[in-house]
Every structure is written in structure tokens, then in C-alpha cells.
Amino acid sequence: MHLLITGNTGFIGPVMTRMAKERGHKVTGLDVGYFKDCIVDPAMDCPPDHQILRDIREVKAEDLKGIDAIIHLAGLSNDPLGALNPQLTYDINLDSTVRLGQLAKDNGVQRFVFASSCSIYGAAHGSDAALDESAPFNPVSAYAVSKVRSEEGLSPLADKDFCPVFMRNATAYGVSARTRMDLVVNNLAGWAYTAGVIKVMSDGTPWRPLVHIEDISLAALCAAEAPTDVVHNQAFNIGRNDANYQVMDIANAVHKRFPDAKLEITGETGGDARSYRVNFDKALGGLPGFAPKWTVEMGADEVANWLRSNGLRDQAFDGRLFIRLKQLKHQMEQGLLDGDLRVVRGRSL
């Protein structure tokens, strides 16, 4: 198959591109390139067969020529970026997603695999049950709202010629050419290594479902390859049932890898209202070929080894190499991006 992976120069993209190529697919990547230079380990990068450097808000029909399936990762990918300017999150994550879906349909691209998120379940306090795909949405950020509305915007496009699939990914962890450090496992390990402290900014009780980026990539590729009738206009929670963790237990798993680090549970409440446990039975039983390989213990080892082998310092860890918001602000200060995060005419990232 010829796959278009949008957002390929981010965290998950390089891993997904490598796995897609290993499965024999041809890959075109499309990304504006906000983070393309935020590379720690170039040997881990996996360029696609063809790269389109373009803002997702400006995708053209010709970009889709010869494409069999789109895996759509591009977007502002976390809550602080959403808080920067909620309207931008809606423009980039929602309007461009629905527009890309329509463009795909109009140009004969039948399969559209969308990177949604378990964060659409948001604050699920009061319910003990793990949430399946029929659970009500309760998004608590512009980012999560953009994912809910993107699903709602893509779903009506489904017909015999267009098959959208919604991957509701758990919170990712793991190492890539562009490792993100704002995600809980990576973040706690990063602080343990660089500052010698594992700081849990809550009472440690909130639940988070976790999944490795290779397992997210595997699921998306399985969704791109599956027979239409099994995935048509379906949502799948992506993760594993034994990886719903309370933040305190994630901190303890990290602590095992950095026993000299100080473990601090601040007991704060209020900042992040998310807490949810998720049921992954549907994808585990119904998405052909999907069998997650990674446990959180394996992932914590991977991140710890990666931190040690790269000898990261705290200036780097707290800088624009890892903090997406700082990188975007830097590019704005350099006059490369305007206030709408569009590349300034005549400049390139």
C-alpha cells in the first residue's frame, strides 16, 4: 500500500514510518516540520520514501495522488499547546482534519485512520468501570474537544467509498528520534534522571491508561490494512487492559529504575482533571493483527536506558528540544512562524 502519514516528523511518526516500511508499505510523509530538528538520536529517525513539507491547513488534492490510505497524526498534540490558543487547536486539529477527510473522499482515498485519544473520556469520576467505546465523552481541554469533534465531523463522511477509523490512543510512552518528555512515563523518568526527583503533581490517585508508541503504530497500521467491514466507521480504544495505572504506580515503576531519586507526591488538586480507566477489549479481540507487545515496565527500562545513554542534562530536558511550546515560541521569535503558527512567507523551518 502507499500510505500517507501526516505528522510524520513528530514523536510517533518516525516509529510508525519505520514499522510501515518494515511491513512493505511505501510511505509519503506530510508535516509542516515544527519539530523536525528536535532530534536527539538521528540514528533512530526513519525518513519516509517521500516527504511533503506542508501545513495541514494547506493540503492539496495533488498531495493525495496515488495514496491508498491516510494515517492522520498531524496536530497540536497536547493540552499546553491547546491552551496557547484554543482557536488554533480547532483550526489545525479539527477543521483541517475534517477537510482532509473530505479531500480524501473526493480524491478516491478510501481508508482514513485518525489518531484520536482516550482523553475524550476526560474526567470520569464517579464511575469505577473501565470505559469502552460507547462511554460518554467528557473532554476537559481544547485538545480533547478537538478530537471529539473531529470524530463527529469525519463519521458522516463514511459510505461505501470512504472508511474512517478512529484510534482512541491511550497516553503514549517510549523512545523515538523525537522523544516527547511531556507524557507521564517519560516525564517522570526525565526528572528522575536530570534532577534526581520524581515529582507527582497530584495525590497520585488519577488513573491513566498507557501505551507504547510501537503499539499505537501497530494498531494504526492494522487499521489501515484491515478488511473494510471490520473497521468501517468504528472507534477502537488502543492500549492494553493491564496498563491502566494510577499515577503513583507509574512513579513507583520509574523509581525502581532510579532508586536514588527522591519521590515527591505533592497532593495538589485542581490542575489536571483527567482520570479514567479504559477497556481495550474491542481492539484486542476485533482489530486483526493487533497484539500489544510492550508493558510499562519494559517502557520504563527503555526510557531509563535512553536517558542514561544520551547523558541528558537538565537544561536540554527543560528546553525547546523537548518542550513543544518552547520550540513554537522560539520559531515565532525567530520570525519563522506567525501568530497563527503558519510559516512566514519566504522562510522555512
Ligand X SMILES: NC(=O)c1ccc[n+]([C@@H]2O[C@H](COP(=O)([O-])OP(=O)(O)OC[C@H]3O[C@@H](n4cnc5c(N)ncnc54)[C@H](O)[C@@H]3O)[C@@H](O)[C@H]2O)c1
Contacts with ligand X, residue ranges (CB under 6 A):
7, 9-13, 31-35, 55-57, 73-77, 92, 115, 117, 169, 171-172, 180, 183, 324
Three-state secondary-structure class, residue 244: strand
Measure the CA–CA gap between 31 and 222, rounded to whole angstroms.
Answer: 22
For residue 166, CA distances in Å to 49, 149, 185, 224, 233 come to 25, 12, 24, 11, 7
Cβ nearer to ligand X, comparing 35 with 258: 35
Place of cell 538521528: 42
Three-state secondary-structure class, residue 339: coil
Cβ nearer to ligand X, comparing 9 with 261: 9
Closest separation in Å from C-beta 199 to ligand X: 20
Closest separation in Å from C-beta 197 to ligand X: 23
Cβ nearer to ligand X, comparing 35 with 294: 35
- Let me know: does 23 contact 89? Beta carbons within 8 Å: no
Closest separation in Å from C-beta 66 to ligand X: 20
Q: Between 296-310 and 184-195, two packed helices, what is the crossing angle to 10 degrees?
A: 40
Cβ nearer to ligand X, comparing 119 with 202: 119
Cβ nearer to ligand X, comparing 187 with 246: 187
Q: Which of 253, 251, 274, 271 is nearest to 263 (CA)?
A: 251
Closest separation in Å from C-beta 94 to ligand X: 11
Which position's Cβ is nearest ligand X?
Answer: 10
Q: Phi and psi dihedrals of 199, rounded to 5?
A: -105, 115
Cβ nearer to ligand X, comparing 157 with 239: 239
Contacts of 80 (CB under 8 A, 6+ apart): 182, 324, 325
Measure the CA–CA gap between 76 and 79, rounded to whole angstroms.
Answer: 8
Closest separation in Å from C-beta 160 to ligand X: 27
Contacts of 95 (CB under 8 A, 6+ apart): 57
Measure the CA–CA gap between 247 and 263, rounded to whole angstroms.
Answer: 12
Closest separation in Å from C-beta 324 to ligand X: 6
Cβ nearer to ligand X, comparing 200 with 220: 220
Place of cell 513539507: 53
Measure the CA–CA gap between 142 and 72, rounded to whole angstroms.
Answer: 18
Closest separation in Å from C-beta 229 to ligand X: 25
Cβ nearer to ligand X, comparing 32 with 303: 32
Closest separation in Å from C-beta 70 to ligand X: 13
- Torsion angle of the four alpha carbons 327, 348, 144, 114, in this order, in degrees rounded to the nearest 10: -130
Residue 247 grid cell = 499515577
